[in-house]
Structure 1
Amino acid sequence: MDDVLIGGIEKRAIVVVDYDPRWPDQFRKQAQIIERALGGSALAIEHVGSTSVPGLAAKPIIDIDVLVADSSDEATYLPALVQAGYVLRVREPDWHQHRMFRTRELDVHVHIFSRGCVEVTRHLAFRDRLRAFPEDRLLYEGVKRKLAGEDWPDMNAYAQAKTEVVEQIIARALRETGKGGPP
């Protein structure tokens, strides 16, 4: 994990708050910064995660997926994102060549993936399912609130604890969109 998590494990409180209608504007502001920094290298910039779902309680951290031609080619985006004020936090060459940057304020996570990465399809399917299906949104929110009340060594452990419900919701989303799984 030390070679993936730059700076090592950080113990942080997991705080889930009610939906904040300012989150879409915060995303747009960050998307503009990213777009200015990367120009045409950013093939897509998407608001994902819980803050992208109106009405859903969330950790107040804006998650953004950015698609580039090849996320393993850090020279095409890393210097520009660092110059724009983001800090590289995660480098996962064995998981979709994923990179994650964050703001110094720890309120924005920018996930870098390559064009065509299945994980981005999964993120968008999850977001869209939660936006369209209140029962899944309530199920997910209940799990998040319950888990947030526990003591976690770091945010990754909290995220891992949500995996089962997240995978169930993604599976429903992908089946309904015809992008995966049996009918």
Structure 2
Amino acid sequence: MKIELSEYDAAWPGLYQRERERIVAALPDAELEHVGSTSVPGLAAKPLIDILLVVPDSDDEDAYVPALVEAGYCLRLREPGWYRHRLLKDSDPEVNLHVFSPTCEEVDRMMAFRDRLRTNAEDRAEYEAVKRELATRGWERVQDYADGKTRVVERIVLRALG
């Protein structure tokens, strides 16, 4: 599998906003953030909108999954062993909706990483260079590509939280 990166698209924030409105219509008290590479102006990315949704208890799927399914999302992944993460997806536009509970440390890490990339050109360039190099390879799964970014992500998160 080949990973296709796109140059930053100024339409991405608007796509996030459209999805945000859709999610809030389904879950009026939703706590949402645009995360991932499409949330960082100037950064090349897979054209996929990553959204962070924080719910009172990510294990309580009955409290949020039916409303999101009704809104058009599909529950694709349960990871109770990794921060009780849930992943829902949609394809128009392509969206990954990451669901966590409020006390989850991954929420803080995702936000710190995004904010650091938005404000630090050196870290943004380092991350993009790694992404571009990894995108030249063939991958069995998208997760393998994501795992390939782990070292650079960890370094940037440490600087962001340091």
TM-score range, shorter chain: over 0.9
Question: 1:35 matched to which residue of 2?
Answer: 24
Distance 1:126 1:91 in 2: 23
From 83, 86, 94, the counterpart of 2:70: 83
CA RMSD of aligned residues (A): 1.0
Question: 1:110 matched to which residue of 2?
Answer: 97
Distance 1:64 1:174 in 2: 21
| TM-score normalised to structure 2 length | 0.97
Distance 1:99 1:88 in 2: 8
Question: Amino acid of the residue matched to residue 95 of structure 2?
Answer: V
- 5+ residue gaps, structure 2, are none
Distance 1:75 1:13 in 2: 36
From 54, 58, 68, the counterpart of 1:67: 54
Does structure 1 residue 148 correspond to structure 2 residue 131? no
Match of 1:39, SS state, is coil
Question: Amino acid of the residue matched to residue 154 of structure 1?
Answer: R
Matching of residues 140-179 of structure 1 within 5 Å: 140-175=127-162
Distance 2:102 2:68 in 1: 18
Distance 2:103 2:2 in 1: 34
Matching of residues 46-65 of structure 1 within 5 Å: 46-65=33-52
Number of aligned residue pairs: 162
1:135-176 alpha-carbon deviations (Å, 9 max, x no partner): 00000000001101100011100000000000000000000x
Shift of 1:14: 1.1
| TM-score normalised to structure 1 length | 0.86
